[in-house]
Copies of this chain bind each other. A is one copy, B any other.
Amino acid sequence: MMEGKVYKVGIVGATGLVGGELIQLLEREGFPIESLKLFASFDDAGEQMEFMSEQIMVEAIRADYFKELDLVFFSAHPMVSRDLAEDAEKAGVWVIDTSRWWRLHPDVPLVVPEVNPETLELGKRKIIASPSPASVALSLVLAPLEREFGLKRVGAVALYGSTQEGRLGFEEHQWQTIAIFNQQEFEVKKFPRQSAFNIFPQVGKFVGDETEEEQDVKNELYKIFPQADFKFSITCAQVPIFCGLSIALFVELKKNASTQNLREAFQKSSGIKLMDEPEKEIYPDTLASLEEDNVLVGRIRKDASGDNSFQLWLSSDNLRKGSALNMIQIAKLLIEKGLL
Protein backbone atom coordinates (compact mmCIF):
# COMPACT_ATOMS: atom_id res chain seq x y z
CA MET A 1 0.00 0.00 0.00
CA MET A 2 1.37 3.43 -0.93
CA GLU A 3 2.71 4.92 2.30
CA GLY A 4 0.53 7.65 3.62
CA LYS A 5 -1.72 7.98 0.58
CA VAL A 6 -5.36 8.55 1.46
CA TYR A 7 -8.46 8.46 -0.71
CA LYS A 8 -11.71 10.25 -1.28
CA VAL A 9 -14.26 7.46 -1.11
CA GLY A 10 -17.99 7.33 -1.85
CA ILE A 11 -20.67 4.72 -1.23
CA VAL A 12 -23.75 4.64 -3.44
CA GLY A 13 -26.46 2.79 -1.56
CA ALA A 14 -25.06 3.71 1.86
CA THR A 15 -28.35 3.15 3.68
CA GLY A 16 -28.75 -0.41 2.37
CA LEU A 17 -27.59 -3.54 4.19
CA VAL A 18 -24.36 -3.87 2.19
CA GLY A 19 -23.81 -0.12 2.52
CA GLY A 20 -23.96 -0.36 6.31
CA GLU A 21 -21.56 -3.30 6.26
CA LEU A 22 -19.18 -1.33 3.98
CA ILE A 23 -19.07 1.60 6.42
CA GLN A 24 -18.34 -0.71 9.37
CA LEU A 25 -15.65 -2.66 7.53
CA LEU A 26 -13.90 0.42 6.08
CA GLU A 27 -13.48 1.53 9.69
CA ARG A 28 -12.44 -1.90 11.00
CA GLU A 29 -9.94 -2.42 8.18
CA GLY A 30 -8.40 1.02 8.66
CA PHE A 31 -8.91 1.77 4.98
CA PRO A 32 -6.89 4.91 4.10
CA ILE A 33 -9.67 7.45 3.77
CA GLU A 34 -9.35 11.20 3.34
CA SER A 35 -13.10 11.73 3.12
CA LEU A 36 -16.18 9.52 2.94
CA LYS A 37 -19.29 10.57 1.02
CA LEU A 38 -22.51 8.63 1.50
CA PHE A 39 -25.15 8.53 -1.22
CA ALA A 40 -28.61 7.03 -1.38
CA SER A 41 -31.92 7.61 -3.11
CA PHE A 42 -33.89 10.79 -2.43
CA ASP A 43 -35.98 8.98 0.19
CA ASP A 44 -33.02 8.33 2.48
CA ALA A 45 -31.18 11.63 1.91
CA GLY A 46 -30.64 13.61 5.08
CA GLU A 47 -30.13 10.52 7.25
CA GLN A 48 -27.04 10.62 9.50
CA MET A 49 -24.61 7.67 9.60
CA GLU A 50 -21.59 7.21 11.84
CA PHE A 51 -18.07 6.60 10.56
CA MET A 52 -14.95 6.90 12.75
CA SER A 53 -17.03 8.61 15.47
CA GLU A 54 -18.22 11.27 13.03
CA GLN A 55 -21.74 11.81 11.75
CA ILE A 56 -21.97 11.87 7.97
CA MET A 57 -25.11 13.07 6.24
CA VAL A 58 -26.44 10.88 3.45
CA GLU A 59 -26.87 12.83 0.21
CA ALA A 60 -29.19 12.14 -2.68
CA ILE A 61 -27.02 10.74 -5.45
CA ARG A 62 -26.14 13.04 -8.39
CA ALA A 63 -23.74 12.16 -11.19
CA ASP A 64 -21.75 15.38 -10.86
CA TYR A 65 -20.70 14.50 -7.29
CA PHE A 66 -18.37 11.79 -8.56
CA LYS A 67 -15.65 14.11 -9.86
CA GLU A 68 -14.53 14.91 -6.32
CA LEU A 69 -13.87 11.21 -5.55
CA ASP A 70 -11.09 8.65 -6.13
CA LEU A 71 -13.16 5.52 -5.55
CA VAL A 72 -16.85 4.75 -5.26
CA PHE A 73 -18.52 1.58 -4.02
CA PHE A 74 -21.89 0.79 -5.62
CA SER A 75 -24.17 -1.35 -3.46
CA ALA A 76 -27.51 -0.30 -4.89
CA HIS A 77 -30.03 -1.61 -7.42
CA PRO A 78 -28.54 -2.84 -10.73
CA MET A 79 -30.38 -0.02 -12.54
CA VAL A 80 -28.49 2.52 -10.42
CA SER A 81 -25.21 0.84 -11.33
CA ARG A 82 -26.23 0.81 -14.99
CA ASP A 83 -27.09 4.50 -14.97
CA LEU A 84 -24.36 5.95 -12.77
CA ALA A 85 -21.24 3.76 -12.81
CA GLU A 86 -20.23 5.07 -16.23
CA ASP A 87 -20.68 8.65 -15.04
CA ALA A 88 -18.28 7.94 -12.21
CA GLU A 89 -15.86 6.26 -14.60
CA LYS A 90 -15.97 9.24 -17.00
CA ALA A 91 -15.12 11.47 -14.07
CA GLY A 92 -11.96 9.37 -13.61
CA VAL A 93 -13.22 7.56 -10.51
CA TRP A 94 -12.68 3.84 -9.80
CA VAL A 95 -15.96 1.96 -9.37
CA ILE A 96 -16.38 -1.27 -7.40
CA ASP A 97 -19.87 -2.59 -8.01
CA THR A 98 -21.69 -5.41 -6.22
CA SER A 99 -24.87 -5.41 -8.33
CA ARG A 100 -25.38 -7.95 -11.10
CA TRP A 101 -25.27 -5.26 -13.81
CA TRP A 102 -21.54 -5.27 -14.72
CA ARG A 103 -20.52 -8.74 -13.58
CA LEU A 104 -20.60 -10.42 -16.97
CA HIS A 105 -19.53 -7.41 -19.05
CA PRO A 106 -16.50 -8.57 -21.09
CA ASP A 107 -14.42 -5.46 -20.32
CA VAL A 108 -15.10 -5.53 -16.56
CA PRO A 109 -13.03 -7.78 -14.27
CA LEU A 110 -15.03 -9.96 -11.89
CA VAL A 111 -12.80 -10.35 -8.87
CA VAL A 112 -12.47 -12.48 -5.76
CA PRO A 113 -9.08 -11.29 -4.47
CA GLU A 114 -8.02 -14.68 -3.03
CA VAL A 115 -8.93 -16.44 -6.30
CA ASN A 116 -8.20 -14.30 -9.37
CA PRO A 117 -6.30 -11.14 -8.31
CA GLU A 118 -4.42 -11.18 -11.64
CA THR A 119 -7.58 -10.26 -13.55
CA LEU A 120 -7.77 -6.85 -11.93
CA GLU A 121 -5.29 -5.38 -14.44
CA LEU A 122 -7.02 -6.97 -17.43
CA GLY A 123 -10.07 -4.70 -17.36
CA LYS A 124 -10.47 -2.04 -20.04
CA ARG A 125 -12.60 0.05 -17.73
CA LYS A 126 -12.32 1.66 -14.33
CA ILE A 127 -15.25 -0.53 -13.22
CA ILE A 128 -14.59 -3.71 -11.21
CA ALA A 129 -17.43 -6.09 -10.36
CA SER A 130 -17.82 -8.15 -7.19
CA PRO A 131 -19.58 -11.49 -7.87
CA SER A 132 -22.86 -12.75 -6.47
CA PRO A 133 -22.39 -13.86 -2.82
CA ALA A 134 -22.95 -17.44 -3.96
CA SER A 135 -20.23 -17.11 -6.61
CA VAL A 136 -17.82 -15.60 -4.06
CA ALA A 137 -18.37 -18.51 -1.66
CA LEU A 138 -18.26 -21.16 -4.39
CA SER A 139 -15.13 -19.77 -6.04
CA LEU A 140 -13.25 -19.65 -2.73
CA VAL A 141 -14.10 -23.32 -2.09
CA LEU A 142 -13.62 -24.52 -5.66
CA ALA A 143 -10.29 -22.71 -6.24
CA PRO A 144 -8.11 -24.98 -4.06
CA LEU A 145 -9.88 -28.07 -5.42
CA GLU A 146 -9.30 -26.96 -9.03
CA ARG A 147 -5.68 -26.06 -8.30
CA GLU A 148 -4.72 -29.24 -6.45
CA PHE A 149 -6.94 -31.96 -7.90
CA GLY A 150 -8.64 -30.54 -10.99
CA LEU A 151 -12.41 -30.22 -11.03
CA LYS A 152 -14.41 -32.38 -13.42
CA ARG A 153 -17.98 -31.72 -12.35
CA VAL A 154 -19.72 -29.61 -9.72
CA GLY A 155 -23.37 -29.72 -8.62
CA ALA A 156 -24.66 -27.16 -6.12
CA VAL A 157 -27.89 -26.50 -4.23
CA ALA A 158 -27.72 -22.95 -2.87
CA LEU A 159 -30.06 -21.72 -0.13
CA TYR A 160 -30.63 -17.96 0.08
CA GLY A 161 -31.91 -15.79 2.92
CA SER A 162 -34.24 -12.85 2.50
CA THR A 163 -31.38 -10.30 2.46
CA GLN A 164 -30.65 -11.63 -1.03
CA GLU A 165 -33.33 -9.04 -1.89
CA GLY A 166 -31.74 -6.35 0.27
CA ARG A 167 -33.38 -4.36 3.02
CA LEU A 168 -36.83 -4.59 1.40
CA GLY A 169 -36.50 -8.38 1.26
CA PHE A 170 -35.44 -8.46 4.90
CA GLU A 171 -38.41 -6.31 5.94
CA GLU A 172 -40.96 -8.23 3.87
CA HIS A 173 -39.78 -11.49 5.37
CA GLN A 174 -39.84 -10.05 8.89
CA TRP A 175 -43.36 -8.64 8.57
CA GLN A 176 -44.70 -11.82 7.00
CA THR A 177 -43.30 -13.88 9.85
CA ILE A 178 -44.77 -11.59 12.50
CA ALA A 179 -48.11 -11.38 10.65
CA ILE A 180 -48.39 -15.17 10.59
CA PHE A 181 -47.90 -15.41 14.36
CA ASN A 182 -50.48 -12.65 14.81
CA GLN A 183 -52.90 -14.19 12.30
CA GLN A 184 -52.85 -11.03 10.21
CA GLU A 185 -52.79 -10.62 6.44
CA PHE A 186 -49.56 -9.72 4.70
CA GLU A 187 -48.21 -8.63 1.33
CA VAL A 188 -46.02 -10.53 -1.12
CA LYS A 189 -44.08 -7.95 -3.15
CA LYS A 190 -40.33 -8.40 -3.22
CA PHE A 191 -40.42 -12.19 -3.59
CA PRO A 192 -42.39 -14.19 -6.15
CA ARG A 193 -44.37 -15.88 -3.34
CA GLN A 194 -44.68 -16.09 0.44
CA SER A 195 -41.20 -16.39 1.92
CA ALA A 196 -42.12 -16.87 5.59
CA PHE A 197 -42.10 -20.58 6.55
CA ASN A 198 -41.76 -21.56 2.91
CA ILE A 199 -39.03 -22.88 0.63
CA PHE A 200 -39.23 -22.24 -3.10
CA PRO A 201 -36.76 -22.91 -5.89
CA GLN A 202 -36.75 -19.48 -7.52
CA VAL A 203 -34.19 -16.71 -7.02
CA GLY A 204 -34.67 -14.00 -9.63
CA LYS A 205 -36.86 -14.21 -12.72
CA PHE A 206 -37.07 -17.24 -14.97
CA VAL A 207 -35.06 -17.27 -18.20
CA GLY A 208 -36.29 -20.41 -19.96
CA ASP A 209 -36.18 -23.22 -17.44
CA GLU A 210 -33.44 -21.63 -15.34
CA THR A 211 -33.62 -18.66 -13.00
CA GLU A 212 -31.48 -15.54 -13.39
CA GLU A 213 -29.48 -16.39 -10.29
CA GLU A 214 -28.77 -19.93 -11.54
CA GLN A 215 -27.54 -18.52 -14.86
CA ASP A 216 -25.57 -15.75 -13.17
CA VAL A 217 -23.69 -18.01 -10.78
CA LYS A 218 -22.83 -20.42 -13.59
CA ASN A 219 -21.62 -17.65 -15.91
CA GLU A 220 -19.75 -15.88 -13.12
CA LEU A 221 -17.90 -19.07 -12.17
CA TYR A 222 -16.87 -19.68 -15.78
CA LYS A 223 -15.61 -16.09 -15.89
CA ILE A 224 -13.69 -16.47 -12.60
CA PHE A 225 -12.16 -19.80 -13.74
CA PRO A 226 -11.53 -19.13 -17.46
CA GLN A 227 -8.95 -21.91 -17.82
CA ALA A 228 -11.01 -24.55 -16.04
CA ASP A 229 -13.08 -27.09 -17.95
CA PHE A 230 -15.35 -28.37 -15.18
CA LYS A 231 -19.09 -28.74 -15.75
CA PHE A 232 -21.29 -26.87 -13.33
CA SER A 233 -24.97 -27.08 -12.43
CA ILE A 234 -26.92 -25.36 -9.69
CA THR A 235 -30.39 -25.10 -8.17
CA CYS A 236 -31.07 -21.92 -6.18
CA ALA A 237 -33.81 -21.81 -3.55
CA GLN A 238 -35.18 -19.19 -1.17
CA VAL A 239 -35.38 -20.33 2.45
CA PRO A 240 -36.90 -18.49 5.45
CA ILE A 241 -33.77 -17.07 7.06
CA PHE A 242 -32.68 -13.44 7.07
CA CYS A 243 -28.93 -13.41 6.51
CA GLY A 244 -26.43 -15.99 5.39
CA LEU A 245 -26.14 -18.43 2.56
CA SER A 246 -25.63 -22.17 2.71
CA ILE A 247 -24.64 -24.41 -0.19
CA ALA A 248 -24.70 -28.21 -0.45
CA LEU A 249 -22.04 -29.24 -2.94
CA PHE A 250 -21.27 -32.36 -4.98
CA VAL A 251 -17.83 -32.33 -6.62
CA GLU A 252 -16.06 -34.78 -8.90
CA LEU A 253 -12.27 -34.44 -9.13
CA LYS A 254 -9.82 -35.36 -11.88
CA LYS A 255 -7.10 -36.67 -9.57
CA ASN A 256 -7.48 -39.22 -6.82
CA ALA A 257 -7.88 -37.65 -3.40
CA SER A 258 -8.91 -38.52 0.15
CA THR A 259 -11.14 -36.43 2.38
CA GLN A 260 -7.96 -35.64 4.33
CA ASN A 261 -6.34 -34.25 1.14
CA LEU A 262 -9.35 -31.97 0.67
CA ARG A 263 -9.20 -30.79 4.27
CA GLU A 264 -5.50 -29.98 3.92
CA ALA A 265 -6.15 -28.06 0.71
CA PHE A 266 -8.78 -25.97 2.48
CA GLN A 267 -6.58 -25.39 5.51
CA LYS A 268 -3.89 -23.86 3.31
CA SER A 269 -6.36 -21.54 1.55
CA SER A 270 -7.14 -18.02 2.63
CA GLY A 271 -10.77 -16.96 2.89
CA ILE A 272 -11.81 -20.41 4.12
CA LYS A 273 -12.35 -21.72 7.63
CA LEU A 274 -12.58 -25.49 8.01
CA MET A 275 -15.24 -26.73 10.47
CA ASP A 276 -15.32 -30.46 9.99
CA GLU A 277 -15.42 -32.68 13.06
CA PRO A 278 -18.67 -34.66 12.74
CA GLU A 279 -17.87 -36.70 15.87
CA LYS A 280 -18.14 -33.46 17.84
CA GLU A 281 -21.04 -32.16 15.73
CA ILE A 282 -18.77 -29.41 14.40
CA TYR A 283 -19.83 -28.31 10.91
CA PRO A 284 -20.91 -25.01 9.37
CA ASP A 285 -24.41 -23.65 9.73
CA THR A 286 -25.89 -20.40 8.53
CA LEU A 287 -25.89 -18.71 11.95
CA ALA A 288 -22.22 -19.54 12.52
CA SER A 289 -21.33 -17.83 9.24
CA LEU A 290 -22.78 -14.46 10.23
CA GLU A 291 -20.23 -11.70 10.88
CA GLU A 292 -17.55 -14.19 9.87
CA ASP A 293 -14.98 -13.05 7.27
CA ASN A 294 -14.36 -16.54 5.95
CA VAL A 295 -16.48 -19.07 4.14
CA LEU A 296 -17.11 -22.01 6.47
CA VAL A 297 -16.58 -25.49 4.98
CA GLY A 298 -17.44 -28.87 6.46
CA ARG A 299 -19.29 -32.16 6.13
CA ILE A 300 -16.58 -33.24 3.69
CA ARG A 301 -17.16 -36.87 2.79
CA LYS A 302 -16.70 -39.38 -0.01
CA ASP A 303 -19.66 -39.51 -2.37
CA ALA A 304 -19.86 -43.23 -3.10
CA SER A 305 -22.16 -42.55 -6.05
CA GLY A 306 -19.26 -41.50 -8.29
CA ASP A 307 -15.51 -41.96 -8.81
CA ASN A 308 -13.38 -39.39 -7.03
CA SER A 309 -16.55 -37.70 -5.85
CA PHE A 310 -17.21 -35.80 -2.64
CA GLN A 311 -20.02 -34.04 -0.86
CA LEU A 312 -19.53 -30.98 1.28
CA TRP A 313 -21.38 -28.08 2.86
CA LEU A 314 -20.49 -24.42 3.03
CA SER A 315 -22.00 -21.44 4.81
CA SER A 316 -21.11 -17.81 4.22
CA ASP A 317 -22.22 -14.32 5.26
CA ASN A 318 -23.77 -12.94 2.07
CA LEU A 319 -23.48 -9.32 3.23
CA ARG A 320 -19.87 -9.57 4.43
CA LYS A 321 -17.52 -11.79 2.38
CA GLY A 322 -20.32 -12.19 -0.14
CA SER A 323 -20.43 -8.44 -0.80
CA ALA A 324 -18.94 -5.69 1.39
CA LEU A 325 -15.71 -7.38 2.51
CA ASN A 326 -14.97 -8.64 -1.00
CA MET A 327 -15.44 -5.09 -2.36
CA ILE A 328 -13.04 -3.63 0.21
CA GLN A 329 -10.50 -6.37 -0.56
CA ILE A 330 -10.77 -5.41 -4.24
CA ALA A 331 -10.13 -1.77 -3.32
CA LYS A 332 -7.04 -2.75 -1.30
CA LEU A 333 -5.80 -4.78 -4.25
CA LEU A 334 -6.21 -1.72 -6.52
CA ILE A 335 -4.00 0.19 -4.09
CA GLU A 336 -1.43 -2.63 -3.80
CA LYS A 337 -1.13 -2.83 -7.56
CA GLY A 338 -0.68 0.93 -7.81
CA LEU A 339 -3.85 1.33 -9.85
CA LEU A 340 -5.58 3.52 -7.28
Contact = CB atoms under 8 A, between A and B. Distances in A.
Interface of A: 153-155, 157, 159, 177-178, 181, 192-194, 197-202, 206, 208-210, 231-233, 235, 237, 239-242, 244, 246, 248, 250, 259, 278-279, 281, 283-287, 298-301, 303-306, 309, 311, 313, 315
A251 to B, nearest CB: 11
B197 A242 contact: yes
Contact of A240 (B178, B241, B281, B301): B241
28 contacts: A155-B155, A155-B305, A159-B159, A159-B237, A177-B177, A177-B181, A193-B285, A198-B287, A199-B285, A201-B248, A201-B284, A202-B281, A208-B278, A209-B259, A209-B301, A231-B305, A233-B250, A233-B303, A233-B304, A233-B306, A235-B248, A235-B311, A237-B248, A237-B313, A240-B240, A240-B241, A248-B248, A250-B250
A227 B199 CA distance: 34
Given A201-B248, A237-B246, A237-B248, 20 more contacts: A153-B306, A154-B305, A155-B155, A159-B199, A178-B181, A192-B281, A193-B281, A197-B286, A198-B287, A199-B286, A206-B278, A208-B278, A209-B259, A210-B301, A231-B306, A235-B299, A235-B313, A240-B240, A240-B241, A248-B248
Contacts of A313: 201, 235, 237
| Copies held by the complex | 2
A219 to B, nearest CB: 13
A260 to B, nearest CB: 12
B305 A233 contact: yes
A333 to B, nearest CB: 31
A286 B198 contact: yes
A288 to B, nearest CB: 9
A295 to B, nearest CB: 15
Nearest to A173: B197
Contacts of A304: 231, 233
A197 B315 CA distance: 14
Q: Please report whether the interface of chain A is mostly helix, strand, loop or mixed according to DSSP.
A: mixed
Contacts of A244: 199
Contacts of A246: 199, 201, 237
B201 A239 contact: no
Contacts of A298: 201
Given A155-B250, A177-B177, A305-B153, A299 B199 contact: no
Nearest to A232: B305
Contacts of A208: 278
Contacts of A209: 259, 278, 299-301
A265 B322 CA distance: 40
Contacts of A235: 248, 299, 311, 313
Contacts of A315: 199
Nearest to A283: B201
Contacts of A285: 193, 198-201
A299 B197 contact: no
